Structure 1
Amino acid sequence: MDARLSRVCLRVRGYHLDGYGHVNNARYLEFLEEGRWGYFDDRPDLARLFTSGNPAFVAVNLNINYRLAAVAGDDLEVLTRLAELGTRSARMHQEIRRVGDGAVVADADLTFVLLDVKANRAVAIEGELHDALAPLVLAD
């Protein structure tokens, strides 16, 4: 697997399901967030750049496509990568796949900005942070 890609695995549990017996659409948002946390867990040096006093990673847009239903007992993997890096925002692409057959259950694109928490405004992605993110881009 490409080192620029992160993989988080999880099992669908009963509490993830809706009345129709498949994963509730809102749960996919949690699965995707788990994937993003895993992305930074795999890159502790990058995660340190987002500690107190530094800009915060803030989601500003999320587009998700629901492809197939996942059900209780399915093992899923969330694949996360940095797909695009701009000067004011960046985009992560994520896929949720069923481990058994590799079928894409959902995919999403999340746009984020860096927020200066004290000033409450977005800041440019530059310097050390840009230099750390640039080699991680795995374009579409």
Structure 2
Amino acid sequence: MSSSTVTYKGVVYPQHCDHMGHMNVAWYVSKFDEATWNFFAMLGLTPSFLRQSGRGMAAVEQQISYKSEMMPGDLIEVRSRLIELKSKAVRFAHDMFNAETGTLTASTELTAVHLDTQLRKAVAFTPEIAACAEAAFAIGGEGAVQ
């Protein structure tokens, strides 16, 4: 298991809340998605790299656990960690916290594949991406590219 790092900071606005008065599930997913793109950039999968190389990333699996409500005005921090980097896929997790109290509010684990955007099929990560992942998340052993 690799170390985690902050990939998103934000706030819960009233428009993020549902009729129960707490942040709606759609906004948990949205904030996790923003964390995902920051996480990808740390792996070297920056917007410019993806555009210039004709590559993309697609989520293929996601599981979310909701632990505690987020209310209007709550400050959010998402910490992310790399679980596994395979030749064409990455598995990672995000933990969302109330930044003021430190309370874990939600967790998600995702699997995404690296795509050729023209062929619309999975392709291998470059060796540079693997090296970037290792440097950013101190992976090794079972977490290495397979």
CA deviation string 1:47-97 (max 9, x = no partner): 143233342121111111111111111111111222211123111210110
Q: CA RMSD in A?
A: 2.5
1:58 aligns to what?
58
Contact kept, 8 Å, 1:83 with 1:137, in 2: the verdict is: no
Q: TM-score, normalised by structure 2?
A: 0.81
The 2-side partners of 1:22 and 1:63 are apart by: 20
Q: CA deviation at 1:44?
A: 8.8
Q: Which moved more, 1:88-97 or 1:120-129?
A: 120-129
TM-score of the two chains, using structure 1 as the length reference: 0.84
Conserved? CA contact 2:60–2:112, under 8 Å: yes
- Give unpaired runs (5+ residues) of structure 2: none
SS of equivalent to 1:52 = helix
Q: Is the 8 A contact 1:85 1:134 kept in 2?
A: no
One-letter identity of the residue aligned with 1:33: D
Equivalent position of 1:132 in the other structure = 132
Mapped to 2, the partners of 1:17 and 1:76 lie a distance apart of 14
Tell me the equivalent position of 2:20: 20
Report if the CA contact (8 A) 2:22-2:71 is conserved: yes
Deviation string, structure 1 residues 92-130 (Cα, Å, up to 9, x no partner): 210110012211100001111101111111112343322
Q: What aligned pairs does 1:113-124 form with structure 2 within 5 A after superposition?
A: 113-124=113-124
Q: Is it true that 1:100 corresponds to 2:115 in the alignment?
A: no
Indicate conservation of the 8 Å contact 1:84/1:138, yes or no: no
Partner Cα separation in structure 1 for residue 137 and residue 43 of structure 2 = 17
The 5 Å alignment of 1:72-87 reads: 72-87=72-87
Pairs aligned (count):
138
Give the 3-state SS of the residue equivalent to 1:81 in structure 2.
Answer: strand
Deviates more, 1:68-77 or 1:54-63: 54-63
Runs of 5+ unmatched residues, structure 1? none
Partner amino acid, structure 1, of 2:129: L
State the AA in 2 paired with 1:77: E
